């Protein structure tokens, strides 16, 4: 059983539909008390970091997510959901995140990029991945990205990197917590394979 957390951010339906394409029972969850009933959870999201954290804080979902993380059961953040796993984001001022993985979320640094590179990073790109159970059966998969900010974290937490103007962390893992910057639910077979691998993680 997979719980997909609904916290008033976009992209719920496509993640839900991707789970069902994989014949996996998934439920969209709004009640924090229900998280404990699931084997694993997905924190999706498209939108503003501060708005997302405000909703998680005011509804009690933040504490429920932190409690779930302590159980050792797998959870994955996708796009904005990945960024929320970190300690803070500089988007529209500094906002504290969930703090499940050490590091911060910063805007793409135009001073490090050729002028041809536009922000947001939008479109298909490759993840140079380490050998990892999340990437089982895949090597440097091509996936769909839409984002203006990216995570900065210790190398030990990074299992995949992508280059857009410069190299950044696009996939992370710390213990039972996983983060995935691109959208697997919009990335055809490669994305579905990654979601399937997540569902198989013990």
State the DSSP string of 41-97: EEE---S-HHHHHHHHHHHTHHHHHHHHHHTT--EEEETHHHHHTSSEE-TTS-EE-
Q: Please, which residues have CB within 8 angstroms of residue 42's CB and are 6 or more apart in sequence?
A: 2, 3, 4, 5, 15, 19, 26, 75, 76, 77, 78, 81
| CA dihedral over 137, 142, 148, 151, signed as positive or negative | positive
Distance CA 155, CA 47 (A): 27
Catalytic amino acids?
79, 183, 185
Q: Which two tokens stand for residue 158?
A: 């990074």
Distance CA 178, CA 171 (A): 8
Instruction: Give the other-Cβ count within 10 Å of 95's Cβ.
Output: 18
Q: Cα 54 to chain center, whole Å? A: 18
């Amino acid at each position: 059983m997979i719980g997909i957390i609904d916290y008033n951010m976009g992209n719920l339906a496509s993640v839900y539909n991707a789970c069902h394409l994989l014949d996996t029972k998934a439920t969209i969850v709004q009640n924090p008390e229900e998280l404990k009933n699931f084997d694993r959870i997905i924190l999706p999201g498209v939108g503003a970091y501060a708005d997302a954290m405000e909703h998680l804080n005011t509804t009690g979902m933040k504490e429920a997510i932190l409690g779930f993380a302590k159980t050792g059961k797998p959870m994955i953040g996708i796009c904005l959901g990945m960024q929320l796993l970190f300690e803070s984001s500089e988007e529209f001022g500094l906002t504290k995140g969930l703090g499940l993985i050490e590091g911060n979320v910063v805007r793409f640094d135009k001073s490090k990029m050729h002028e041809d590179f536009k922000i947001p990073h939008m479109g298909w790109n490759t993840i140079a991945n380490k050998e990892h159970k999340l990437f089982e059966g895949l090597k440097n998969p091509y996936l769909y990205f839409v984002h203006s900010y990216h995570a900065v974290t210790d190398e030990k937490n990074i299992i995949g990197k992508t280059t857009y103007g410069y190299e950044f962390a696009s996939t992370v893992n710390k213990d039972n917590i996983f983060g995935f910057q691109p959208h697997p639910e919009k990335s055809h077979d490669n994305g579905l394979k990654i979601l399937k691998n997540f569902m198989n993680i013990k």
